[in-house]
Structure 1
Amino acid sequence: MAARQTFLIIGIFVLAGFDGCFSVIPEEEQHPDFWYVKGKEALHTSLSMTRNMNRAKNLILFLGDGMGISTVTAARVMKGQMEGKTGEESVLAMDTFPHLALSKTYNVDQQMPDSAATATAYLCGVKANYGTLGLSAAARRANCSSAKGNEVKSILHHAKMAGMSVGIVSTARVQHASPAGSYAHTPERGWYSDKELTSEAVSSGCKDIAYQLVHNTDINVILGGGRQYMFPKETVDPEYSTVTGSRKDKTNLVDVWLSSRNNAKYVWNKQDFDAVKEEKTDYLMGKATSSIWRENFHLLH
C-alpha cells in the first residue's frame, strides 16, 4: 500500500471444541505456595504496568462472531488439553492483554441479539434493532422507508474520512452482517444482492449490501467471500462451472469498483493474490464464493 496510516478491521470466526475431562491432579497445584506465588506474580505484573502514551499508527479490530465467555473458555480448555494438560490452566493470547473488558450484548428490541445489530453497536456506537445494519433503532427491519435519515456511520468510515487507509477481511461473505456493519446501511441484513430486495425496497430506493460495498465508504482492502453477489446472474463463476452470479441488474460490481479507483487490483485465487505488488497497489479486492471462502482462507496467509 502507499505510505499512509492503515486502519484494518478483521472478522475472524473461531470454532472451538471440548475434549473431555482429566482426573490427574498436578503435584504442584496441591500446595498452597503454588497459588500464593501465582497471585503475587499477577499483582506484580499489574502494579508494574506503565501507560503507553505513544500515538497508535494502526488499529486492528478482531471479531470472533458469537465468541462469548463460554466459547473462549472452551477454546482455552481445548488449547491446554492439546498440550497434554488439564486445560483450564491454559492461557490464550488475549488473556495476556494488559487491558480487558466485558460489554453487554443485546438489541434494542430483543434480548438475544444478531450479528447485524451488534455489528452496528460495536462499529457505529449505537444499539439497534434485530436484523438491521448501520441504522439507528428508529429503523424497522425489512422496511426500506424507515431507513431513510436513520443511517449511522462506522468507525471505519470515520477513519477513512480522517485520511487513513481502511480494510475488511472475513472468513465469511464480506456482505455478511459482521463485516458489512463497517460500510452498509440497510434495514434487512439478508439483502446481499438486488436479487433479495423486496418490491417495497426497490420502490423506496434501498440498495443491496454488495452495491453499498462498492459505492459507500472507499475501502482499500476487501478480502472475503460473497463473489456471486458482485456479478450478474448470467455470469458463470470462473472457478465453479455450476455457480453463477446472483445480480438481476446485469451490473458487474467488480468492474465498477476497479474502474473508479487508481492502482486497484482484483484477485480470486492464490496465484493472483501472491502476485500482487504491494508498492504498486492502493486498492485490493479478493473474492471467493460464499461456500468456498472459509475452506480456502488459510491459503491466502
Structure 2
Amino acid sequence: MKSLLACLSLSVFFVAPAMAEAPAPLTPELRGALARTPNTQKARNIILFIGDGMGISSVTAGRILAGQTRGVDGASYRLTFEGLPYTGLSKTYSADKFVTDSANGISAITTGVKTINAAIGVDATVKSNDCASSLKGRVPTIAETLKAQGKATGIVTTAGLTDATPSGAYGHVPTRGWRSDAELPAEAKQAGCIDLARQMIEAPKAVRLDVALGGDRARFLTTAQGGKRQDRDLTADWRKLPGSVVITDKAELAGVDTKATKTLLGLFADGDLPSVVDHKGQGSTPTLEEMTRIAISVLSQNKDGFFLLVESASIDKWHHENNAYRALTDVDELDKAVKAALEMTDASDTLIIITADHSHGLTLSAGSTRNEPILGLARKNGANEPDKNGLPRLTLNYATGPGARPAGSPPLTEEEALSPDFHQLALTPMSSAQHAGEDVPVYASGPFAHLLTGTVESTFLYQVMRYAAEKR
C-alpha cells in the first residue's frame, strides 16, 4: 500500500504532456549554424582586419549606433562582420604587461611572438630603445613570409603608414617611436638601425610591400618639401620601382589603373587621416572602404594571391579622447570595408579575419530604453534616469581619460551629450584614455576559419594564417 501511494504521489510531478511538443523552429540563424562546414582548402588570399582598440563594448555600442544611424533598432542590428560563421576570443597581453599597446598587439598577430610593449617585429629578448638587441631579435612577419612565397602584400590604414599597427606588417624596431630619421636617436643610427619609413621603402624585393595606403606623408618627405625627413625623399625611391604609382588624394586613388599598377603608395595626410565624421567621404580624403577596394583590385592581379592588412585606426584614436561618436562611427567604417572585401573575394579561397589588437575602457551602462540615442543621456522614454545624486548620467562612459569632470561641474544636457565633439565622462582623469586588458573578439570566414573559435592566444591567429596559406 505504501509503495502504491508513493507511486501515485510521484505521478503528480511527472504528468505526460497532453500532446507532443512542436519541433524546434528552424530560424534563419539556426539554419545558417547547421549548414556550417569547415573549409579546409588552401587559402589563396588572406585579409586581416584590425579594429584598433575595438573591444566587445565597442562592437556592441558601434552596432547600436550603426543601426540608429540607419533609422532602425540598434540593439538588434547586425554588423556585416558579426554575420561571419566563426567567432572566438583572443588574449592580448604582452610579454611584460597585463594590458598591451598596439605595437605588441599587432606583432603577436603578425609574427606569432609576443614581445614587450612598444616593440614591433621582434621577440621578447629585446630591450626597449636598444638597437643592438632588436637587430638580434628580429622575427619575420606574416606579410614578409607570404611575399617570399610568391603572394602580393599590402597595408591599408586610416593612421600613418609608420604607426604601430600598419608597421606590424613590415617593421622591426625596439620602440614604435622610431618612425622617421628625425625621430631616430643618434646612437640607434650609429648601431645600424633605420627608421620605419625607410624599412618600408628599402625592404628587399622578396619581402617588400606592393601596396601601402594611409597617412604619414611628412615622414616620407624632406623638410624642404614640408616633411620631417633630414636625409632624402623616400617617395622618389618608390617611384623607381617597376609599375609604381604614388598618389596623395581621393581623386588620384579613384583614377588608379589597378590592372597596370604593380606597386602603389598612397599618402593622404601628413599624419593620421581625419575622421570620416569630419570629412564625410568628401574632399581629398578617401574612406577606408575606398582604399580597401583599390588595394584588393591591385593585389588581385597576382596569380598566387595576396595578403592584406586593413586597419581602422580611428576607433582607437578617438577612444583615447573619450570621443565615443567618432570612435564608434569608425566601427561602422571598418564594417563597410569588410563588406567590400567579402563582395570582391571568393569565400572558398579567401581567409578573412576581423579582430582587435587590444580593447578600450568603454562601458555601456543600464538605464536607457532602446528607443533612446546610444550617445545621449541615460533616459527611459524621454525622461532622464539620474544618478544617486539626482544628476543626469550617460549610457556610455569610460574608465579613464580626459572626459573626467571636476566636482561641481554643471549638469549634463542631452544637446551637449549628442554633440560630435563631446567627450564622454571618465572615472579616472588622464590626458589620454588607457587601453583595457580584456580579451577581444575574433570573427572569421574562409579556409580554416573554423580554427578561430574558443579562447586563443593572439599569436594563434598568426599560426592559423600561416597554416591556411601553406597547407599542402
TM over 0.5: yes
Once the 2 structures are TM-superposed, how far is the Cα of residue 299 of structure 1 from its aligned partner? 9.0
Shift of 1:37: 4.7
Deviations 1:107-156 (A, max 9, x none): 11111211111110011111110100101111112111221210011111
Instruction: Give the alignment partner of residue 225 of structure 1, picking from 210, 215, 224.
Output: 215
1:213 partner amino acid: M
- Give the whole-Å Cα distance in 2 for the aligned partners of 1:110 and 1:222: 30
Find the counterpart in structure 1 of residue 185 from structure 2.
198
Equivalent position SS for 1:101: strand
Find the counterpart in structure 2 of residue 297 from structure 1.
Answer: 286
Query: Whole-Å Cα distance in 2 between the matches of residues 124 and 146 of structure 1?
Result: 17
SS of the residue 1:195 aligns to: helix
Determine helix, strand or coil for the equivalent of 2:36: coil
**Corresponding residue for 1:257?**
238
Distance in 2 between the 1:192 and 1:44 partners?
A: 49
Instruction: Give 4+ residue runs of structure 1 displaced > 6 Å after superposition.
Output: none
Q: Residues of 2 paired with 1:109 and 1:72: CA distance?
A: 27
Work out which of the two has the higher radius of gyration on C-alpha atoms and give 1 or 2.
2
Q: Deviations over 1:187-234 (max 9, x none)?
A: 110111010111221221110000001012311111110011111111
Partner of 1:137: 124
Q: 1:143 touches 1:200 (CA, 8 Å); kept in 2? A: no
Mean CA deviation greater in 55-64 or 175-184: 55-64
Provide, for residues 161-184 of structure 1, a one-character-per-residue CA deviation record: whole Å limited to 9, x for no partner. Answer: 110111111111010000001001
1:9-46 deviations in Å (ceiling 9; x for gaps):
xxxxxxxxxxxxxxxxxxxxxxxxxxx758x6544432
Residues 155-234 of structure 1: pairs in structure 2 closer than 5 A: 155-216=142-203, 217-234=207-224
Question: Does the 8 Å CA contact 2:64/2:75 hold for their aligned counterparts?
Answer: yes
Asked whether the 8 Å contact 1:105–1:118 carries over to 2, the reply is: yes
* CA offset digits 1:253-274 (Å, max 9, x no partner): 1111222x21111111233333
Instruction: Confirm whether residue 81 of structure 1 aligns to residue 71 of structure 2.
Output: no
Return the offset for 1:89: 2.0
Distance 1:206 1:166, change over 3 A: same
Identify the residue that residue 52 of structure 2 maps to in structure 1: 65
Which of 219, 223, 228 in structure 2 is aligned with 1:246?
A: 228
> Could you say what secondary structure the match of 2:119 adopts?
coil
Q: TM-score, normalised by structure 1?
A: 0.79
1:225 and 1:211 map into 2 onto residues whose CA distance is 15
Shift of 1:64: 0.5
Q: Which residue of 2 aligns with 1:26?
A: none
Contact 2:215 2:270 in 1 (8 A): yes
Structure 2 counterparts to residues 70-149 of structure 1, below 5 A? 70-149=57-136
Contact 1:80 1:86 in 2 (8 A): yes
Residue type matched to 1:124 in 2? T
Aligned match for 2:267, one of 267, 279, 287: 287
Query: Matches of residues 263-274 of structure 1 in structure 2 within 5 Å?
Result: 263-274=243-254
1:80-116 deviations in Å (ceiling 9; x for gaps): 3334455322211122111111101111111121111
Distance 1:299 1:173, change over 3 A: closer
Alpha-carbon distance in structure 2 between the residues aligned to 1:44 and 1:272: 44
**8 A Cα contact 2:250 2:286, kept in partner:** no
Greater RCO between the two (CA within 8 Å, min separation 6)?
Answer: 2
- Identical-pair percentage: 35
Distance 1:90 1:37 in 2: 21
Does the Cα contact within 8 Å between 1:172 and 1:290 map onto a contact in 2?
A: no
- Unaligned 5+ segments in structure 1 are 1-35, 236-243
Does the 8 A contact of 1:273 with 1:300 survive in 2? no
Q: Within 1, Cα distance between the matches of 2:40 and 2:289?
A: 35
Asked if 1 retains the 8 angstrom alpha-carbon contact of 2:218 and 2:271, the reply is no
* Greater percentage in strand: 2
Normalising by structure 2, we get a TM-score of 0.51
Q: Which amino acid aligns with 1:246?
A: K
Question: What amino acid sits opposite 1:180 in the alignment?
Answer: S
Do structure 1's residue 278 and structure 2's residue 255 form an aligned pair? no
Contact 2:94/2:116 (<8 A) preserved: yes
Aligned positions, number: 256
Taking the aligned partners of 1:276 and 1:214, their CA distance within structure 2 comes to 20
Deviations 1:38-95 (A, max 9, x none): 8x65444322222334433321111100001111111122223334455322211122
Is the contact made by 1:134 and 1:184 (CA closer than 8 Å) also made in structure 2? yes
- Contact kept, 8 Å, 1:76 with 1:92, in 2: the verdict is yes
- Contact 1:223 1:287 (8 Å CA) reproduced: yes
* Equivalent position amino acid for 1:68 in 2: G
Aligned residue for 1:123, secondary structure, equals helix
User: How much does 1:292 deviate?
Assistant: 6.3
